[in-house]
Amino acid sequence: MHVKNSINQNVHRDALPDFRNLGVILRMVLVVLAFSLFVALAEAGSWSDVAARFLQVAAPVQPVLVLSILVLYAASRALHKLSYRVGVVIVFLTEIIVVTVVHRVGAELFSGNPVGQLERYWVFTAAVTAVLLYYFYLRSRALSPALSEARLQALQARIRPHFLFNSINAVLSLVRAEPKRAEAALEDLADLFRVLMADNRDLTPLTNEVELTRQYLAIEELRLGERLTVEWHTENMPADALIPPLVLQPLVENAVYHGIEPHSEAGTISINIYKVRDEVHLVLRNPYRSYGDHHAGNKMAMGNIKERLALHFDAEARLRNTVSDNAYQVHIVIPYRRQPR
């Protein structure tokens, strides 16, 4: 195992939304309908004419909307390889081309082309595109890991010294008796902190996150010994799936901190990762006791993970936590995304 010496800390990178995402598509449809309603309200002579005018405005917009969604869906990966500014320009040009093509085809089919109609469609399309891109830009900023990272670091500031102190003590106890094991533990510790401090805004292979979690658990097993038992169920895990980094490891850390460490008896943490259709499921269970105050802090970690899931997957990701008499369970569902070959 080789420990990397550098830590990458990049600033926030603006990026276009994932046009393949169901939540993004729904927001596009809603904004277009809202604009159509706004135009209908502005042009209607009376309230009774609003519905009729809305249908007149929205009807010719629908073919443009459907074709735009299909084109952007197909070009989403290519757009994300470009810089943000170039991507924005291409999106604008794509929309103008789409509305022009649809208008020309409609004019040929229905033998109608009122003066200035295409120009009005250009203005409407440009306005809707600008509002959508600016909305997604603001949303990306609001959910950016660059902002939520500050809250994650606030949580780490409380837990990390405690974990670091115990880990160093555990390693020191092995230096003379088991030097090879102590060296491996120090490498695991260095890898863990390198990932925690690095730029974590891009999706990472699921196998990397699992390996990081195993390294973390290997460190914890040094000091907890037989008190900690981990059950891995990864037979149906899609190894090539992409997930946000630091999703599984913080959950496992919470499971150790809240479910195992406060109690003298042994406890089991169960980690089940599997794929159903086009979704990846991560299910984690740990012992739970309702008494004591050692459960404080869970909500901050959960909130951070929810924000990053929303940033990457929008409405297609779900996080649900449930509590029973003796177990605490976290169930994450994310869409199955793979690294392009």
The torsion angles phi and psi of 44, rounded to 5 degrees, stand at: -70, 140
- In angstroms, the CA 223 to CA 216 distance is 12
Residue 237 in contact with residue 204, Cβ under 8 Å?
no
Distances (CA, A) of 234 to 207, 210, 242, 273, 321: 10, 10, 15, 5, 20
Residues 279, 316: Cα–Cα separation, whole Å: 9
The pLDDT value recorded for residue 129 is: 93
pLDDT value at position 163?
Answer: 64
Where do the structural domains in the chain lie, given as residue ranges?
A: 22-142, 145-335
Q: What is the pLDDT of residue 109?
A: 61
What pLDDT is recorded for position 271?
95
Residues 19, 72 contacting (CB under 8 angstroms): yes
Low-confidence stretches of the chain (pLDDT < 70) are 1-13, 107-116, 143-166, 195-201, 290-301, 340-341
pLDDT at 283: 96
Over residues 227-285, the pLDDT tens digits come to 899 999 999 999 889 998 888 888 888 888 888 888 878 889 999 999 998 999 999 99
From the candidate CATH numbers 3.30.565.10, 3.40.190.290, 3.40.47.10, 3.30.1360.170, the one assigned to the domain spanning 145-335: 3.30.565.10
* Segment 161-198, tens digit of pLDDT: 556 666 777 777 777 777 887 788 788 777 777 766 66
State the DSSP string of 95-134: HHHHHHHHHHHHHHHHT---TTHHHHHHHHHHHHHHHHHH
Q: Which residue has the tokens 């809305």?
A: 54
Describe the chain by its helix, strand, coil percentages, rounded to 5: 60, 15, 25
Give the torsion sign (CA, 156, 162, 168, 171): negative
- Kindly state the helix (H) or strand (E) to which residue 286 belongs, with its residue range: strand 279-287
Q: What is the pLDDT of residue 168?
A: 74
The pLDDT value recorded for residue 154 is: 46
**Segments in 143-236 forming alpha helices (H):** 145-172, 179-197, 206-224
Rounded Cα distance between 156 and 144, Å, is 18
29-55 b/e with 16+ CB inside 10 Å = b?
Answer: eebbbebbbebbeeebeeeeeeeebbe
What pLDDT is attached to residue 202? Answer: 75
Prediction pTM value? 0.67
